[in-house]
Amino acid sequence: MRQPLVLASPDPSRAARQEVRSLTSSTPDALWSSPALKALRPDVVTCTDLRLGPDLDGCSLSVPAGARLLIVSDPETTASTLLRVLAGLSRARQGEVHLAGSADSTSEGWGRRVAYLAPNPGLHAWMTPTEALHLAGRLLGLPQEEATRRVARAMDWTRIPAAAAGGPIRRGGLSLLQRTGLAAALVGDPEVLLLDEPLRAIDEHERSSLLKLPGQRRTIVMASRYPASEAGLVAHVAYLRRGRIELIAPVTALERAELPLSHRGIVALAELKAMGSPRPGAAPA
């Protein structure tokens, strides 16, 4: 069995520590900024030897708390497959998944601590955003007062206009659908967010703002076919090829190698790492 590729623990900047905490969880960020946890950073996303057809062939990965990881893949769809397996929406033929310290995907395990967001959130378009978000709160078993507070907070973060909150989602098109999907994911205040090509219907500048979610303990794993659009949102990149993770590296490694944050750049970095070359054109070690 291959050992999991381990993502190095992030080192949050002072600016990140000073972000607005409007969406942080009941787990205090002060706890996650303690020296002990900075050193330990327990893994919250771990998969070992996942196998599912040609998409996953012994895929292993470990991601520590607070990481922001971007996964690109060849073929492009396999990163989405990995996220669906991590979310419990697809079942691997072999292997193990542990999220938030648990292998149990039910609500008694990690089910309420993890959220998954796909390009189409699967919400009923005839519902209003307010109805959809309150339904999310009920499914999570939140007390009504707490659900109301979280719904208001999530709608504020995702900038759902008051005029649109009371009308059918379909009137706002795909943009409103995706905003509501992100808001629904945030109602549960998840420790882990699995994002598959999120918010593509929204203007790039605003999309970037919406996905800069605060909270040092919040872990984000994102699948994207457009890495350049994730600049500033992720600190590490991973490359999934032939069903296995072949590279995990900080975004700064691309910069040092004079490579762009793009699919081609990440593939080139993986090839350089395989050869042991520190930069493009360098002789193999």
3-state secondary structure 186-216: HHCCCCEEEEECCCCCCCHHHHHHHHCCCCC
| 79 part of a folded domain | yes
pLDDT(32) > 50: no
pLDDT in tens, 157-202: 999 999 999 999 999 999 999 999 999 999 999 989 999 999 999 9
Q: Can you give the three-state secondary structure of 57-105, one letter per residue?
A: EEEEEEEECCCEEEEEEECCCHHHHHHHHHCCCCCCCEEEEEECCECCC
Q: Quick one: 93 and 203 in the same domain?
A: yes
Q: What is the DSSP track for 134-162?
A: HHHHHHTT--HHHHHHHHHHHHHHHT--H
pLDDT(36) > 60: no
Q: Quick one: 5 and 64 in the same domain?
A: yes
41 confidence band (pLDDT: 50, 70, 90): low
3-state SS class at 226: coil
The Cα–Cα gap between 238 and 228 comes to 14
Mean pLDDT for the stretch of residues 36-50: 76
User: What's 218's domain CATH number?
Assistant: 3.40.50.300
Q: What is the CA radius of gyration of the chain?
A: 19
Q: Quick one: 137 and 267 in the same domain?
A: no
pLDDT at position 99: 86
Q: Quick one: 91 and 33 in the same domain?
A: yes
pLDDT at position 40: 56
Q: Quick one: 4 and 62 in the same domain?
A: yes
Q: Quick one: 147 and 202 in the same domain?
A: no
37 confidence band (pLDDT: 50, 70, 90): low
pLDDT at position 2: 52
Q: Quick one: 152 and 238 in the same domain?
A: no
Domain that holds residue 153: 120-189
| 284 part of a folded domain | no
pLDDT(261) > 90: yes
| 283 part of a folded domain | no
List all residues 6 or more positions away from 201 whose beta carbon is below 8 Å from its beta carbon. 173, 174, 175, 177, 178
Q: How high is the mean pLDDT of the chain? A: 84
pLDDT(27) > 50: no
Q: What one-letter code names the amino acid at 184?
A: A
Q: Domains in the chain: how many in total? A: 2
**What percentage of the chain carries pLDDT values higher than 90?**
65
pLDDT at position 14: 37
Q: Are 58 and 250 in contact (CB under 8 A)?
A: no
Q: What is the DSSP track for 8-55?
A: PPP---HHHHTS--TT--SS-HHHHTSHHHHHH--EEEEEEEEEETBT
Mean pLDDT for the stretch of residues 55-64: 94
Q: What one-letter code names the amino acid at 240?
A: L
Q: Are 245 and 56 in contact (CB under 8 A)?
A: no
Partners of 50 in beta bridges:
59
Partners of 86 in beta bridges:
none
Query: Vertex 46, ends 43 and 51: CA angle to 5°?
Result: 170
Given 165, 189, 213, the domain boundary residue is 189
Q: Quick one: 185 and 82 in the same domain?
A: no
| 209 part of a folded domain | yes
Given 167, 189, 211, the domain boundary residue is 189
Given 148, 170, 189, the domain boundary residue is 189
- pTM for the structure as a whole: 0.83
